[in-house]
Amino acid sequence: MPIPESQLMSLSLYNRHFLITSLVALTALACQKEPSADPSQGTSAGTLPSATPVVPAAAATESDKTSADPPRADDSPEIATGAAAASAAPAANDRSPKYKATAPAAGKNIQGTKRSGDGFATWLEGTGPFVVGKNSSLRAVLASKKPYKCNEEYPYKLKLQANPQLGLTESTIRGMKISGANAQLNIPVVPKTAGKTTLRGKLYFSVCTDDRCLIERQDISLALNVE
């Protein structure tokens, strides 16, 4: 028996409704079963999964090591600087001129004729060089002999003869300095002209023991060359 047309239309609408309902249910079921990208954290709606590529464990370890341990200054070759570089440089490369410090030449001592007697010896002496226009080191010396000693209470003096070459007029110098058994009197001289000359004078002095004193005078002289 043929099915009326109205029944066929009702059946068709029912089938469409059934199919749509089934599709909706299946879609909902599929969404509930889809696993999240991170099991420990929920994925919020509208968030896209991360596109960061997965790095192998070996590569990640090497990268971490590189970033964790930056190059140290100790790993680079040592470069000497400053005083260390100067000391390390070969001596052959140093072409700077060498200067040796030289001490000034020591003056030469000269001694005049020595006069001696019972308990004493006396003379003139100097330390060269003797140069025109410069102070010269000249002195009268008295040395006592045991048991005598230089008399500390005697008024010592030296009478000098005039010497134009040495810039001296006839004069008397005092101020003998006594030190133990010896005494010394400095003579200020500034030579005026060059050449050989002789300084002459008479020394008045005294030496004593515990029992007696000697009062003496002696002519003393010193030959020298003025430059």
Domain range list for the chain: 109-226
Rounded average pLDDT over 4-9 = 53
Q: What is the pLDDT of residue 15?
A: 62
Tokens of 31: 């969404």
Per-residue pLDDT tens digits for 187-224: 999 999 999 999 999 999 999 999 999 999 999 999 99
Is the pTM higher than 0.85? no
Per-residue pLDDT tens digits for 127-150: 989 999 999 989 999 999 999 999
Which CATH superfamily, name and number, covers 109-226?
Immunoglobulins (2.60.40.10)
Work out the pLDDT band at 5, boundaries 50, 70, 90.
low
Rounded average pLDDT over 93-114 = 60
**Rounded distance, CA 147 to CA 89, Å?**
67
Q: Which residues contact 143 (CB under 8 A, 6 or more apart)?
A: 120, 121, 122, 181, 182
Residues linked to residue 122 through DSSP beta bridges, in sequence order = 115, 142
Q: What is the pLDDT of residue 77?
A: 44
Q: What is the pLDDT of residue 8?
A: 45
